[in-house]
Amino acid sequence: MKNRCENCIVRQFNSLRAMSKEELKRVSDSKITKTIKKGQAIFEEGEKLNGVFCVRDGVSKLSKLSANGKDQIVKLASKGEVMGQRSVIAEESTNLSAVAVSDMEVCFIPKEGIVDALHKNPNFTVEVLRHMAHDLREADDVIVNMSQKTVKQRIAEAFLYLRDNFGADTDGFLNVTLSREDIANVVGTATESCIRIISEFKKKEYIKTSGKKIGVVDEKKLRDLVDGF
């Protein structure tokens, strides 16, 4: 097998880089690489996870079903991100579902290697902790945005976020392509409202579209809108 974690570029981006050589070797020996097709589920809300998933390629949406039957997308995970760690660490079933938004390649890492390293390698644990502290801070920001910003502001922000975090191609179109429904589920609004606002942004030339693809055209205008002028 040539795909050793030790050589995996993706490790740069997550807490695994704080593991010792031996720990990483063990992880590498026990991991299973999977190919996931767009639209396929990686795990579902309520499941007990026996390990974590490390994203090598592609993007996954992490969402939670609300009482009214709508999915709320809480996070988008891409290259380097580890999914399911919360569940493994807290020894609870997951509170989120993970579904591929594009074709993906992920590595499943059985929890034993992770849990063991957590108890034996303080550097690794602190690294994971740091990462989680950061996630928590981001979650606070999301809460504030959700409750204090209008749908229009949240959609504008989402486009800027997507571009800054996942990049754009040479023509300026976002690398991640989400359906209108998914965008609506990210910002927490009705699909129709989302579509209407996208049309409006397009008419005002804040963004451009080509099929499902969306591109940021006028960053400043979008930014001003987010900040309330």
Q: Rule CB under 7 A: which residues touch DNA?
A: 68, 150-152, 179-181, 188-193, 195-196, 198-199, 209, 211-212
Q: Are 216 and 172 in contact (CB under 8 A)?
A: yes
User: Alpha-carbon distance 103 to 115, whole Å?
Assistant: 29
Q: Which partner in its own copies, DNA, none is near 192 (CB below 5 to 8 A by kind)?
A: DNA
Q: Which partner in its own copies, DNA, none is near 67 (CB below 5 to 8 A by kind)?
A: its own copies
Q: Which partner in its own copies, DNA, none is near 96 (CB below 5 to 8 A by kind)?
A: its own copies
The residues binding its own copies (CB under 8 A) are: 64, 66-68, 70, 72, 74, 85-86, 89-90, 92, 95-96, 118-123, 125-126, 128-130, 132-137, 139-149, 187-189, 227-228
Which is closer to DNA, CB of 142 or CB of 151?
151
Side-chain-facing half-sphere of 169: CA atoms under 13 Å: 10
Which is closer to DNA, CB of 125 or CB of 193?
193
- The nearest distance, CB 72 to DNA, in angstroms, is 11
User: Alpha-carbon distance 124 to 61, whole Å?
Assistant: 26
The number of angstroms, rounded, from the C-alpha of 15 to the middle of its chain's C-alpha atoms is: 16
- The nearest distance, CB 54 to its own copies, in angstroms, is 17
CA angle in degrees (0–180, nearest 5) for 22-12-41:
95
With CA atoms as reference, report the closest residue to 103 among 34, 182, 55, 37: 37
